[in-house]
Amino acid sequence: MTEPTFQPRTTVEQVEESTDLAPKFGPNGLMPCITSDAQSGEVLMLGWMNDEAFRLTITTGEAHYFSRTRQTVWHKGATSGLVQKLVEARIDDDQDALWIKVAVTGSGASCHVGYRSCFYRSVPFGAAAGKPLEFREPQKTFDPKLVYGDAPNPTLL
Amino acid sequence: MTEPTFQPRTTVEQVEESTDLAPKFGPNGLMPCITSDAQSGEVLMLGWMNDEAFRLTITTGEAHYFSRTRQTVWHKGATSGLVQKLVEARIDDDQDALWIKVAVTGSGASCHVGYRSCFYRSVPFGAAAGKPLEFREPQKTFDPKLVYGDAPNPTLL
């Protein structure tokens, strides 16, 4: 296992067309990461990685994120047991976004509210635009109170 | 068709557990949007929407994004003809990220470099961490120069 080296970004061609890993983190030092279930293809969550979380994810093969609420790197599943094991990692054209395909241990859920996916509600559109959101998962897979206890909810208003 | 109303965010329970659409845009006024192919499940791109782009996407049923490079709302496919028609729209638990499933008109590509997906390269991990990126699409689906001409490349260093 080699510690990944992030290359300096020199040209648009290098960033888009080469095999150099030259990631660009946003002004807050974070890069968005799309996480999908490797088996079903379902998008489970959108997380954020800083330089350290991205390195840890690549070297360990388990998803690490940066919690914007707690301002710390976070090994997904450390509390809940729902670890996300990498099956594949992709980076986009301009190297400022990631997509990881994962196998989730345990129940397979990834959402702190208790659902499998964080994207458990649909937004009506077109002729139905303006109607209420619709729940798309029949029920929660776990009770967040039992899993997280009194830990503060990461959702901010 | 009703213009969608964005509700004020009052409680964590409302945001996570209700059918109110109460989106939260980031400090830059933007929300990340994951766009996947409704048929294959493949993630095509990660875009950004401001309030206006999100409203336009919901009301028209075609993806609109905010270009951070050009600082303007952008109807995806206006230049290339590769319009993204919404099949489903989802919002996440804390309502600060979107996932849209789309059917792309024309060749089905969504990447300005010419590939189907913007995520055309994989990042080696675990025992292979540190190795060069690997191309995952056999070839480009179009020649960007023919489609975009002299328009400036949106990739920034």
Q: Answer yes or no: do B93 and A112 touch at CB < 8 A.
A: yes
Do the domain assignments include residue B118?
no
Q: Any chain A CB within 8 A of the CB of B92?
A: yes
List, in sequence order, every residue forming a beta bridge with B103; answer none if it has no partner: B85
Looking at residue B146, what is its pLDDT? Answer: 85
pLDDT at B102 over 60: yes
Looking at residue B79, what is its pLDDT? Answer: 85
Q: Any chain B CB within 8 A of the CB of A115?
A: yes
Do the domain assignments include residue B124?
no
Looking at residue A136, what is its pLDDT? Answer: 96
Q: What is the mean pLDDT of each run of 10 residues along chain A (157 residues)?
A: 86 96 96 97 97 97 95 92 96 98 91 94 97 95 86 86
Looking at residue B2, what is its pLDDT? Answer: 67
A45 min Cα distance to partner chain B (Å): 8
Q: Answer yes or no: do A12 and B99 touch at CB < 8 A.
A: no
Nearest to A58 among B42, B99, B123 (CB): B123
Do the domain assignments include residue A21?
yes
Looking at residue A2, what is its pLDDT? Answer: 67
Give Cα A16 distance to the centre of its chain: 22
Tell me the pLDDT band of B149, cut-offs 50, 70 and 90.
confident
Give Cα A142 distance to the centre of its chain: 19
Looking at residue A1, what is its pLDDT? Answer: 58
Angle at A95 between CA A157 and CA B104, to 5 degrees: 80
ipTM of this predicted structure: 0.95
- The domain that holds A29 is classified in CATH as 3.10.20.810
Q: How many CA atoms lie within 13 A of A108 on its CB side?
A: 11
Do the domain assignments include residue A152?
no
At B79-92, the pLDDT tens digits run 889 999 999 999 99
Do the domain assignments include residue B109?
yes
Do the domain assignments include residue A32?
yes
Mean pLDDT for B50-70 is 96
Do the domain assignments include residue A33?
yes
Mean pLDDT for B49-75 is 96
Domain region containing A25: 12-113
pLDDT at B42 over 70: yes
How many domains does chain B contain in total? 1
Task: Report the chain B residue with the minimal C-alpha distance to residue A157.
Answer: B9
pLDDT at B129 over 90: yes
Do the domain assignments include residue B86?
yes
Burial of B153 (0-12, 13-18, 19+ CB in 10 A): middle
Residue B64, H or E segment: strand B64-67
